Amino acid sequence: MLMHSRPLAKLLVWLPLLFLFSGAAERKIALEPLEIAMLTAITPGAVETARGSNRNSKKGLAAPVRLVSVLHDKKALAGIHDVQLQGRYAYVAGKGPGGTIEEGMGSFAIIDITDPRKPVITGRITEEITNGETVLLDGDICYLGSNHFWSVDIRDKHHPKVLCKIEDPAIKSINGMVRLGSYVYAASKSGHITVFDIRDPKAPKLAAVFRTKGNFGSPHDIDRWDDQRVVVVNIRANKGEEQLRVYKVSAKGGEPLPPEQWVLEGTLDDQRLRGANRVRVRDNVAFVMGNKGYSVGAVALSQTGGSPVLSDWFSTTEDPRYRSCGMDLAGEVMIADVVGPICETGDTFARERMSAPLAANDLIAIMSAGAYGAVMASSYNTRPLVPEVLVDGNRFAVTRRRPTYEEILAAETLPDWLLG
């Protein structure tokens, strides 16, 4: 059985539209061609899943999409603001109805996305969370940022439980977080970066506060570049102000440097990145998402101390109804048609299925074929019949072996008058 596939690429996800980009990386910072699968939340209390396709162009990605499924919940998905993926689950933070920051409002939800056509909310917290703006996954723990810092136990996907809540005047409007070693660095829209000690996940502690200076008044997200450096983006940058900064924040041993010893290693001012809301770093590339419509910039980071450079920029729409709030890079996928070895249009088992990357000689399992099993099989085009295997728990036996080519041809004869 063969996989007739489109090339591999990175998954790129964001809210209110969570785009799952798949295609081929022509260069490390280019996604071309582009296939799109979307898990979207474009209205308060709604999560929608859709798919479409398009080819990248400098003019942007104006791809039509087709709706696959819709998931509504006015409380669990109220004011959706950020998402992260882990396995077959999506973890979503919400600011409350209408995206308010009113104390006492907010939400946290766990969504099973095994089948994108049927996303299901498995667990939620709607009474304790206030103004949930961002999530950070760490194994069985999910950290949630708002005007407070929360530690949530997510081992039970049906009953997530708040373990700890840190309140401090220095913690305000946390919009993005990243882990370096035993510490979480949180970007706050109020103009500072807070550092939390998470060596005890059930009882994290506020370790340090760094106030950004100059033309960087609203750091909105932060991501790890390496063991010592982070990349931070600024959403409210006007002309002449920086959209991105690179800081050295940690010593080689993993301990955070005191805030007064942080080193500003690079900045970027490019007006195409105005509204920079999210950043995800892979290798030496920072993918920066803007909240004006759906736009993503690919920023090349310099290992030798040079300034970051915007190398590629993708924009889908400036539709004012849509504002992107969250983004996640989720590894590599393959969008594939699962087909047989015969050059016939009917020799197709599935179309446009998302799977892990596959290569020649890999095996896949088709769990159900309905009536199209061995009873309807044939040796068309001299293809040997597949063997039949009976399975019982951890036992199996071949009940009909695969015939050899000699056995197939042995049943055929040619009349003398053809042999001449």
| Shared domain check, 314 and 212 | yes
Assigned domain for 264 exists:
yes
The per-residue pLDDT for 18 is: 35
Across residues 57-74, what is the average pLDDT?
51
On whether the CB atoms of residues 231 and 244 are closer than 8 A, the answer is yes
Asked if residue 283 has pLDDT above 60, the reply is yes
Could you tell me if 276 and 330 lie in one domain?
Answer: yes
Residue 151 is predicted with a pLDDT of 95
Note the pLDDT of residue 199: 93
- In angstroms, rounded to a whole number, what is the distance separating the alpha carbons of residues 397 and 389? 6
Task: Please give the span between the terminal C-alpha atoms of the chain, in angstroms, as a whole number.
Answer: 39
224: number of Cβ within 10 Å:
18
Q: What is the dihedral of CA 94, 99, 102, 106, to 10 degrees?
A: -20
Does residue 363 lie in a domain region?
A: no
Inter-residue contact 105 to 130 (CB < 8 Å): yes
In a domain, 360, yes or no: no
Q: Over 70: is that where the pLDDT of 60 sits?
A: no
Residue 354 in any domain: the answer is no
pLDDT given for residue 262 in this prediction:
93
Report whether pLDDT(344) > 90.
no
pLDDT value of position 28: 27
Q: Is residue 341 part of a domain?
A: no
What per-residue confidence (pLDDT) applies to 242? 73
Q: Domain boundary at 280, 305, 335, which?
A: 335
Please tell me the distance from the alpha carbon of residue 296 to that of residue 36, in angstroms, as a whole number: 14
Look over the chain and give the mean of its residue pLDDT values, rounded to a whole number.
Answer: 74
Mean pLDDT of 181-189: 92
Residue 159 DSSP SS3:
coil
Mean pLDDT of 222-241: 82
pLDDT of residue 59: 37
Average pLDDT score over residue span 348-360: 72
- The tens digit of pLDDT for each residue in 202-214 reads 899 999 999 887 6
Which is more confident, 343 or 406?
Answer: 406
More confident residue, 95 or 323: 95
Percent over 90 (pLDDT), the chain: 25
Regarding whether 136 and 19 lie in a shared domain, the answer is: yes
Q: Is 33 inside a domain boundary?
A: yes
The average pLDDT across 327-346 equals 68
Alpha helices in 166-281 (DSSP H): none
Q: Average the pLDDT over each of 79-83, 154-158, 407-411 and give the range with the smallest value.
A: 79-83
> Do both 151 and 283 map to the same domain?
yes
Q: In what order do the strands lie in the sheet with 276-282?
A: 276-282, 285-290, 294-300, 309-317
Domain boundary among 312, 335, 358: 335
Q: Give the full edge-to-edge strand order of the sheet including 183-188.
A: 174-180, 183-188, 192-197, 205-211
User: At residue 332, does pLDDT exceed 80?
Assistant: no
210 and 311 part of one domain:
yes
CATH number for the domain including 231? 2.130.10.10
Are 401 and 311 part of one and the same domain?
A: no
* pLDDT band, very low/low/confident/very high, at 157 (cuts 50, 70, 90): very high
pLDDT at 418 over 80: yes
Are 242 and 315 in a shared domain?
yes
Model confidence band, residue 397 (pLDDT cutoffs 50, 70, 90): very high
Q: Are residues 120 and 203 in the same domain?
A: yes
pLDDT given at position 97: 62
Give 353's pLDDT tier (boundaries 50, 70, 90). Answer: low
Domain-embedded: residue 98: yes
> Is residue 340 included in any domain, yes or no?
no
Q: Both 299 and 383 in a single domain?
A: no
User: Is the pLDDT assigned to residue 172 strictly greater than 70?
Assistant: yes
User: Are 393 and 251 found together in one domain?
Assistant: no
How does residue 178 score in pLDDT terms, banded at 50, 70 and 90?
very high
Q: How many domains does the chain have?
A: 2
Q: Clarify whether residues 22 and 89 are in a common domain.
A: yes
Query: Residue 329 CB: number of other CB atoms within 10 A?
Result: 16
Query: Does residue 305 sit in the same domain as residue 385?
Result: no
pLDDT per position as a tens digit, 114-124: 887 788 999 99
Q: Which residue has the higher pLDDT, 132 or 11?
A: 132
Name the nearest CA neighbour of 264 among 191, 212, 193, 207.
Answer: 212
Cβ partners under 8 Å of residue 27, min gap 6: none
Q: What range defines the domain where residue 14 resides? A: 2-335
Q: Are strands 219-224 and 348-355 parallel, antiparallel or unpaired?
A: unpaired
